[in-house]
Amino acid sequence: MKKYEHVLALYPYFGHSTPTMGMFPPTGLEYIVASMKDLVGKVTLLDLRYERAYQDPKVLSEFISSQIDLLCISVGWDSQFRKICDYMSQLPPEVCTIVGGYKATLEVEYLFERCPNIDMIVRGEGEDIIKQIVTGVPCKDIRGLSYLNNGEIIHNENHPLPDIASIPFPDRSLRKHDCYWIQLGVRLSSTTFDTILTTRGCPFKCKFCTFSLNPLGQKRSYTERPLESVIEELKTVKADFVLLSDDNFFTNPKRSEQLCDMIIENKIKKIFAVQARIDMAKHPRVLDKAEKAGFRVFLIGIESPHDRILKQLDKGITQQQVRDAFAILTQYDFFLHGYFIYGNIGETEEEMLYIPKFAKEIKLDSITFQKLRVEKFSPLKEIVEATPGYYYEDFGGPVYSDRYGREELKRIRNQIRSQFYDLRQIRHIVDKIRRIGIFSWRDLMVALPHLPYLMYKLNRRKKRKKR
C-alpha cells in the first residue's frame, strides 16, 4: 500500500487578471505532479481559474475531507497572494498540506503564521523533494524542506538543484481544461496555449536579472534536456500555440538548429514563441529554420536604448548592436516583442521617454516596459542601497528615487504607452498577427467585439483602486 492514496494538486488562483495568467497552464505544479504520480495512488489536478464551484473554500473542504490524504498547493506569484492565504487558511487542518512555489519560498514564516494548517513548505525546485515526502522519508532528512515540529519552524539546509534530464515532463492527460486567451473572464480567441521547458538556467550575468537564481539565491547553471525528450513531449501537446519558456532559446545555436530540424522532420505543426537575446541575429541559418519550423513570436530583452544604462545593467550589448540585429530580424516573418526597463539609476525623464521612439525606429511590433526592480539576491540591491536618493520597499518591488517617485513614474509610464501604442501601431499589430498566422481573422473577430467591455471593466478596476 502506498503512503498516499489520493493527492490533490491545487493551483489556487481565482481568475485571469493578466493575459499570461489566462493563457498558460500551471506548468510548475505539473512538474511536481509528474515527479510523484507513479509513487502515489491517484493525483487530481485542480485549477481554480476554471473550477468556479471550488472557489468556495467550504465546497473544496468537503471534497478534501472526503477523498484526499495529501494536499499540494502551488503559490508562485505575488498576484492575489493575500487572498490565496485567506483561502488556504480555511482548508481542512487534518489533511497533510504542503505548499511550494516561488512566492512560497520567499514567504515561509508568513505562510506558517497566516495558515496554521500548513504542515510543510518546499523551498526552491521541488521535484526531488516531493518524491522524498510521498515515499515517507522523515522530514528532518529532506533538504529544502521547512516544517513544523511542536510549533517550532524547522528549516533544513537547501536542496541541491535537480538534474533537468532526470525530471519527467508534465502529464497533460491530467488536465481538465484547455487554456485560452482569457482576460477579465472573457475568452478572446479559439487558439489554445501551452508551454514547455527545454533548458533551465542562463549563462549571462545581467545585474537586473535573477532568472538564473532561484529564490534561495542558488545559481542555476545552464543545462539542456535531451532533444529526444523535448520532441517526445511536444508530441503530447495538443495546443495550437506553444511557449518555449527557456530563459534564452538561442543560448546554444547549434542545439536550437537541431531542434528546429527535428520539429520539421516530425511534422509538428505549432505556433512557437521563444525568449531570446539579440545575439540570435548572428545566426541567419538558424533563423531560417526557426521560421520554417513555426517559430513566430520572439520575446527579446533589450532593456534600454542607452549605452550608459546597458553598461550599468551589464547587458553586454550596445544600442548600435541592437539596431544591427533588428535590421536582420525584421526581414523574417517574426512578431518581435521587446522588453524595456525604465526608472534606472541616474536615468532622466527624457531618456525614459526615448523608449517608444527607439522601439519604433528598430521596428518592434510591441513592447513591455517595467520599472527597475530589486530582487533579494540581485547585484542591483547593493548598487541601489549605495546610491543616495534611490530606495525600494520590498524585494521584488520597484525602485524609486527622490526625483522620480510613484506618481512621476506612473505619469512617465502612461506617456511611454500612449506614444508607442497609437492607432497606427495598433493597426500594424492586428495586420501582422493575421498575416503571419499567429491569430486568424476568426480569432480577431472573436476578440474585437469584447474590447469595449474590457475597457469598461479595466476603468472600473482603476476607479475602485483609487477609492
Same domain, 57 and 126: yes
Same domain, 14 and 127: yes
Whole-prediction pTM value? Answer: 0.87
The three-class DSSP label of residue 94 is coil
Type of residue at 338: G
Same domain, 262 and 310: yes
Type of residue at 106: L
Task: Report d(CA 257, CA 320) in Å as an integer.
Answer: 26
Same domain, 246 and 393: yes
Which pLDDT belongs to residue 198? 94
Same domain, 262 and 408: yes
Per-residue model confidence as pLDDT tens digits over 254-300: 999 999 999 999 999 999 999 999 999 999 999 999 999 999 999 99
Spatial CB neighbours of 97, under 8 Å, sequence gap ≥ 6 = 71, 73, 88, 91, 117, 118, 119, 120
Domain that residue 64 falls in:
7-164
Same domain, 265 and 118: no
Closest CA to 258 of 225, 281, 282, 236: 225
Residue the block writes with cell 517608444: 356
Type of residue at 112: F
Residue 444 belongs to some domain of the structure: no
Same domain, 130 and 257: no
Same domain, 136 and 245: no
Task: Report d(CA 299, CA 113) in Å as an integer.
Answer: 39
Task: Report d(CA 399, CA 342) in Å as an integer.
Answer: 10
Spatial CB neighbours of 318, under 8 Å, sequence gap ≥ 6 = 307, 310
Same domain, 122 and 239: no
User: For residue 163, what is the DSSP state?
Assistant: P
Residue 63 belongs to some domain of the structure: yes
The three-class DSSP label of residue 271 is strand
Which pLDDT belongs to residue 162? 79
CATH assignment of the domain containing 234: 3.80.30.20
Which pLDDT belongs to residue 457? 44
Distances (CA, A) of 62 to 56, 95, 180: 10, 12, 29
- pLDDT mean for each 10 residues of the chain (467 residues): 91 70 85 96 94 94 97 91 96 97 92 96 94 96 94 92 85 91 74 91 59 56 89 96 92 96 97 94 97 96 96 92 98 96 96 98 95 81 89 85 95 95 91 85 59 46 41
Structural domains of the chain, count:
2
User: For residue 281, what is the DSSP state?
Assistant: G
Same domain, 348 and 401: yes
Which strands form 7-11's sheet, in the order they lie side by side? 43-47, 7-11, 70-74, 96-100, 120-122, 145-149, 152-155
Residue 341 belongs to some domain of the structure: yes
Which pLDDT belongs to residue 444? 62
Task: Report d(CA 357, CA 265) in Å as an integer.
Answer: 41
According to DSSP, the β-strands at 180-183 and 152-155 are: unpaired
Same domain, 147 and 213: no
Residue 450 belongs to some domain of the structure: no
**Separation of CA 21 from chain center:** 9
CATH assignment of the domain containing 74: 3.40.50
Could you tell me the three cell numbers for 98?
A: 504542503
Same domain, 324 and 207: yes
Residue 182 belongs to some domain of the structure: no
Could you tell me the three cell numbers for 446?
A: 472573436
Give the number of other Cβ atoms within 10 Å of residue 80's Cβ.
18
Which pLDDT belongs to residue 160? 86
Reported in sequence order, the residue ranges of 283-349 that DSSP labels E, i.e. its strands, are 295-303, 335-342
**Separation of CA 183 from chain center:** 17
Distances (CA, A) of 438 to 52, 295, 432: 30, 10, 8
Which pLDDT belongs to residue 440? 67
For residue 303, is it left (φ>0), alpha (ψ between -120 and 50) or beta? left
The three-class DSSP label of residue 421 is coil
